[in-house]
Amino acid sequence: MRSARCVAMLPGMSTQLTSYYDGPDLTGRVRDALRKAGLDPGRLRVNDLVAMDQCHALGLAGTVALAKLADLRPAERVLDLGAGIGGPARVLAARFGARVTTIEPVARFRRLAAELDAATGLEDAIEIVEAHGDALPFADGTFDLVWTQAVLPNVADVAPLAAEAHRMLAPGGRWALAETVAGPGGDPFFPVPWADGPAESHLLAPDALRTVLEHPGFAAEVWEVGATAVAPAVAELTSAPADPNPPVELGLIMPDRDERMASLGRNIAEQRIAPVLAVLRRAP
């Protein structure tokens, strides 16, 4: 399983960011890699970037599967909380015709996201906003879909985020999420993509997470944990295999990815963590 997320600092997130989040500017590094691969950094396809910018479980297949599960429709208004460098937002805009607002407080992620949005011709479909997930600068009911992928393990108190997600949605709106929960196998090994150590990791058990997410007034239409949570993405990956030789990869923005992925794989194998896939519906 490929996992990691270029996430924002959301409510309750530790101020001790992993080395992944706190580092030098990324735009020059990515431009150089794209040129080396024979691409024009100013004129790109969304698929040129997916091995680098879909940095979460099962990559592009995970994003597409979640969008289909949420029944995302053209022109729907999506709020991507913890958007990082904007990979999923570009897929939602380009492939599904959504209008996406991304929330990302980390400046170096915003800069790279803006450059890549422009290079793929999506700057008019994607808005990048510097904000925090517990105090969003939008009116009630502004969005049709709230989106999170690999964000919640960084959040010490999920309740304010859930309340704000509920406020953001129009009646009948949905929250689509692909996240990680605590498993029965014991404490996880570190480092992992979202944390250098236990002080930065805030995993809840599946039932505890569902309770806090539903509390503001959501009902889970889909709630899958473990193998069934990854099945839609695996099916998507089978029908559309990933490029075996992508021009840019995750290592560009996460140089220690091998160590983090090794811990992740061990945690999954020993059931110390598990994936969860859900679509929550706001009451009409």
Instruction: Return d(Cα 155, Cα 169) in angstroms, integer.
Output: 20
pLDDT value of residue 24:
81
pLDDT value of residue 56:
84
Give the β-pairing of 143-149 and 169-182.
parallel
Q: How many other CB atoms sit within 10 Å of the CB of residue 136?
A: 20
Instruction: Return d(Cα 151, Cα 174) in angstroms, integer.
Output: 17
Alpha carbon 80 to its chain's center = 8
Taking only the tens place, the pLDDT of each residue in 151-160 is 999 999 999 9
Assigned token pair, 166:
């509920």
Q: How many other CB atoms sit within 10 Å of the CB of residue 215?
A: 13
pLDDT value of residue 4:
39
Q: Where are the domains of the chain?
A: 27-282
* Backbone conformation region of residue 185, classed left if phi is above 0, alpha if psi is from -120 to 50, else beta: alpha
Taking only the tens place, the pLDDT of each residue in 174-185 is 999 999 999 999
Instruction: Return d(Cα 211, Cα 209) in angstroms, integer.
Output: 5
pTM above 0.95, yes or no: no
CATH of range 27-282; options 3.40.190.10, 2.60.40.10, 3.40.50.150, 3.30.360.10? 3.40.50.150
3-state SS assignment for residue 73: coil
